Structure 1
């Protein structure tokens, strides 16, 4: 017998190569993956029809948008309605977004327009007391009651401002946005925005004089 054959037979049957071990890492949830995407990527996906990408964008900004809506409308229920309608508008119009401004600026514009409609529909809105989030004082019940009363008074004063002044003042003083960004949101010139905020500050200072 040929020595080569004998040697080959002596080794026994050939074994199939081992398959690579299956991964033990858990499959990542699609929401977790979307949460790690940057905003421009999510915008592009949303413009391609990915509703989940738009939902992620909305999730990132909804707290700030709702806060603005509450402060402009003065009513949580109206703010919720305005925000929901604004998000629907945003999804329908996402194809028109050209990234000339930040996505948040674009959504602020839609929300403020919806809030303005709410204000014109419901002129009898009672302002909420949380126009300001800061609570200062020595912690005593008397001081806390005084601060709450002052915040309620400020809420009523803000509600009494003309719509254009109120929106500009809220975006500047409560949200800390710059004049240029407020101009982009409201569609007014930067000079007009500065004028509105100045008039709002003057009016509020007069209305809040009793608390000084």
Structure 2
């Protein structure tokens, strides 16, 4: 595989690699370093990539593992997943403020989820991966992924309902 073929192969998902690294490592600089490390690892394996059903899923698995290793080496206790991609250009100012407030609450709730649930929410709800791909990346079976996602969404829903019904919780 030459450089041009490699670039064509990784271009569709390299931004996803960066976003996952950024959500796990928080620091933009560390996420850029992680992305570069993952791309170097893929380049080193470029002639064997055809054995993988999904090079993208393989890249995301490498990213997840690399970032978790980085966090463990720093003894960082919490992972942060922050969803910054929500915008609504049509909403009025009040609606935008309410949406921003709700998004802030969702981010805080997600931050409080167990690591596995945070990552599954990231992969499914933010990156839009299929359950089969998530199961491979997380080394879980699909049923366990669905259960963990259901529990995470239930937790988010319960906290949001409480917040909206009773004010700041």
TM-score (norm 1): 0.63
Contact 1:72 1:170 in 2 (8 A): no
Q: Which of 18, 43, 66 in structure 1 is aligned with 2:18?
A: 66
Matched, 1:151 2:96: no
**Whole-Å separation in 2 of the counterparts to 1:168 and 1:126:** 13
Contact 1:171 1:182 in 2 (8 A): yes
Matched, 1:99 2:46: no
Distance change in 2, residues 1:183/1:127 (3 Å): closer
Contact 1:75 1:126 in 2 (8 A): no
Shift of 1:180: 0.9
**Whole-Å separation in 1 of the counterparts to 2:164 and 2:102:** 7
Matched, 1:76 2:23: no
* Structure with max Cα Rg: 1
Shift of 1:125: 6.0
Q: Which of 99, 114, 119 in structure 2 is aligned with 1:167?
A: 119
Shift of 1:110: 1.1
CA RMSD of aligned residues (A): 2.7
**Whole-Å separation in 1 of the counterparts to 2:81 and 2:96:** 19
Instruction: Looking at secondary structure, tell me which structure has more helix per residue.
Output: 2
* Structure 2, gaps ≥5 residues long: none
Q: Which residue of 1 aligns with 2:143?
A: 191
Task: Please list, as runs of the form range in 1=range in 2, the aligned pairs for 1:1-212 lying within 5 A after superposition.
Answer: 45=1, 50-120=2-72, 121=74, 122-123=76-77, 128=82, 131-136=83-88, 139-209=91-161, 210-211=163-164
Number of matched residues? 162
* Structure 1, gaps ≥5 residues long: 1-44
Distance change in 2, residues 1:74/1:151 (3 Å): farther
Instruction: Name the SS for the 2:11 alignment partner.
Output: helix
